[in-house]
Amino acid sequence: MDFNDTPEQAAFREAVRQWLNANARPKREGESRKSQAALFDEAKVWYKKLADAGYACLDWPEEYGGAGLSQIHKVIWSQEVAHYAEPDGYFVIGIGNCGPAIMHFAPEEQRQALLPRMASAEDVWCQMFSEPSAGSDVAGLRTSAVREGDTWTVNGQKIWTSGAQHSDYGIVLCRTDPTVSKYRGLTMFYIDMHQSGVEVRPIKQMDGDAHFNEVFFNDAKIPDAQRLGEVGEGWGAALLVLMNERLAISGVQPDGFPEFLALVKQLDLGEQPAREHPAVRERLADWYCQHAGIIASTNRMLTAVAKGGMPGAEAALGKLVGAAMNQDIAHYALQLMGEGGSIMEPDMAEQQAHFQRALLFAPGIRLAGGTDEVMRNIIAEQVLGMPQEPRADKGLAFCDIPSGNAG
C-alpha cells in the first residue's frame, strides 16, 4: 500500500486546505461544549456550505449532489478538516448509511429528488433497524408491514435510532412475511418521519444528551413506491447498509489516543509530569500501537474500496479495537485526573470534560454498528475461516421460532 499522495491528490489536498482556511473555524482551547440543538443547527449550515462549494459527499455522483470523486479524496478531506472545529461528521448516518440504500434500490426519479437534498442536509435521514428484541440479531425484528393494494401499513417499535428526533426521513426494515425464514421475510422502505403514525421519543443518556430515540409505528402508511428493493429481499439491502455504516463510521469513530496524548503532555502527577511517569508511558506506548494499527487497517480497507471492493473485516477490526480502546483510555484518563475527573462542567474541567463525556458515551459507541461479539464473529468467520455459530432457528419459519414474546 502506497499512502503518498499522487500529484492529483496533492493538488486536491492543497485546494481543500485553502478552502478550509478561508471558510472553517479553527479549533480553540477552552471552547465551551455546545448543546445537541446548537450542534444540529451548526451542522445544517456547514453541510449547506459544503454543498455550495462542491465538497459535499465527495464520492457520490455529481447528479446526486456529490463531487464524483473517490474514497481516497474522502480520506484526504477527513485528514484536513480534523484540524477545524466544524461538525463535519454530524450527518454521517444519513449520508453514509441511507444514501447508499437510496442509490442502490430507489428508482432514478427518487434518487434525483432525494439524494441532493440529503447531501446538503436540507433533509436529514436516520436508520431504523434495532428493536427491543432484535439488536445484534437484526433479522429477528418484529415490526410488521402488511400490504393492502399499493400501500403498506406498518406497526411496531424501533430503538437506539440515532438522530430520529431531527430527521425528515428514515429507512426502516420490516417483516413482511413471517411464514418464511427470518432472513427471507424482510423488506426495506423509506418513510416520512413527520407523517401520522410515527412517534419519536428521545432517550435521555447518562451524559445528559439524547442522541438515541425510540420510534413507534402505529398504523403508519407507506406507499409501495417507497419500497427499497424487492419484497422479501430486505436482508440483502440491510447488509449493504451495515457494510456502508462500518465504512462511514471508520472515519469518525474515536479511539481516544490523540486526546489522551494531549492530556499527558499537560498533566502533572504530583510534582512529576505525567509524561515522565513509567506507568503512563507504558500505557501511552501500548495505545499508540493500537492507534497506528487502526489507521493502517482503515487505510487498507479504503484502498480496497477505492479499487471497487467492499468494506470487509478490516472495518470490524477497527471498530472492535477502537471502541474498546476509547473506553479504556477515558477510564484511565479520569483516574489520572483524580478528583478533577469528577467535574462535568466544561469550563472547569481538563479538556472541557472530554474524557468524562467519552466514558459515559463509550457503551453507545461499542454498540453502534454492531457489538463487540458481532465484530468478533465477523473476524472469526471472514479472517480466520472459522465455522458459523450454531443457530437454533435454522430451517424454521420466523413464526415457528420459540420466543419469550409469544402470547
Whether 62 sits among the annotated catalytic residues: the reply is: no
Cβ-proximal residues to 156 (8 Å cutoff; 6+ apart), any chain: 131, 141, 142, 143, 144, 174, 216, 217
Q: For cell 439491502, what's the residue?
A: 237
Cell output for 247: 465504512
Class of residue 148 by CB neighbours under 10 A (exposed 0-12, middle 13-18, buried 19+): exposed
Q: Judge contact between 339 and 349, C-beta under 8 A.
A: no
Q: Judge contact between 219 and 153, C-beta under 8 A.
A: yes
Cell output for 29: 482551547
The runs of H, that is alpha helices, within 87-165 are 92-93, 99-105, 108-119
Choosing from 80, 86, 131, 245, which is the catalytic residue? 245
Cell output for 141: 425484528
- For 252, the 3-state DSSP assignment is coil
Angle at 24 between CA 18 and CA 30, to 5 degrees: 130
How many Å apart are CA 296 and CA 282, to the nearest integer?
A: 21
Nearest by Cα to 98 from 132, 131, 64, 67: 64
Angle at 202 between CA 200 and CA 207, to 5 degrees: 165
- For 197, the 3-state DSSP assignment is coil
User: Catalytic amino acids?
Assistant: 245
